[in-house]
Structure 1
Amino acid sequence: MQVRPLTPDALAETLGERVAQLPPPPGGRLRIAVDGAAAAGTAPLADAVAEGLRLLGRPVLRISSGDFLRPASLRLEYGHQDADAYYDGWLDANALFREVFDPLEQGGSGLVLPALWDARADRAVRTRPVPLPPGGVLLLDGPLLLGRWLPFDLSVHLWLSPAALARRTPADQQWTLPAFARYEDEVRPAESADLVVRADDPRRPALVIG
């Protein structure tokens, strides 16, 4: 196993090149995950990869798992700071299948709902499905995405050591740390992801090779 330190820009470029080289799946559209805690910087990395792919002429649809959370009445059934509920019950995986992944299957409409639920307002987002043409790329970022049978063509996991995760997680989100410890233990994302990035130093991420 080798570890290749990169600048954030070089990492995004490297990942974009890897995505661009992937053969199209039967549905004709690639489905890419950028998995990891928000503290690892999944959203900025996914945004940068998306921008690079657009410059290469690829249609890209960027979505966040934070826009596919379940209503507060379900998420917070066991309180506002229940780590097991955060792990098991916050993400509406069924909605992701229905509104995002199923339309991208072979014979699907290609019409993807980019957001479903506004968690802050606790109401449905008023948005229409948007087309992702054949040859396009779906880029989904968020935490705890692996181990849910979501049909990704490439998964990238941004790994933080427990110390770095605790240090970079805001005080009001420290209660989520046991969920990430459980994720490491049950899903082992650094082993199940296609690509792993060590993200302890945000200025110098390192791509794990081999």
Structure 2
Amino acid sequence: MTSLYDADGQALACTVIQAGPCVVTQLRTEEKDGYKAVQLAYGEKKEKNTTKPMLGHFKAAGTTPKRKVVEFKYFAREFELGKTLTIGDVFAEGDFVDVVGKVKGRGFQGVVKRHGFGGVGGQTHGQHNRARHPGSIGACSFPSRVFKGLRMAGRMGGNRVTIQNLRVLKIIPEQNLLVISGSVPGAKESFVIIEK
């Protein structure tokens, strides 16, 4: 992340994303596949690390093996197989986009960090080591079980999240860089999907 200044001198928090070049590796059609979509591939990958079916798939598109392959529905324009898309072909400054990514995994966390619980009481009156614990979970002789979905400690993060309506502040076409307002899910160098 970094920041930009707008015309009024206001600092805007933003994220820089390298979004291309992407290659069209497959065109889905209503007749053959039952739906219409464009498959795009991004990032170089060694041939020795690519499976033979995927090598054939990329060869049919006339391109080298790629690291990430994603399908996009509802494209307004037509594309041809093997065509390389740059950032200027898809995005413009001022566009609003949705960014899909995988949140950083945070491992096994307690209820205070995972769900925002306040902990159990203060430190006095015999309170010993229960400060960040969940407290009573409410089940006694009836219903004699714990209800599904009860907020407890557990694995946190590592799930797919969509951040909606982020504005494209700036485009740097020479390096295929997209400067988007706000933050996006995922760690540095991770893949995100940008939907218009």
Question: Do Structure 1 and Structure 2 share a fold, with TM-score over 0.5?
Answer: no
Which has the larger helix fraction?
A: 1
Higher Rg: 2
TM-score bin (small chain):
under 0.3
TM-score relative to the length of structure 1: 0.19
TM-score relative to the length of structure 2: 0.20
Larger relative contact order (CA 8 Å, sep ≥ 6)? 1
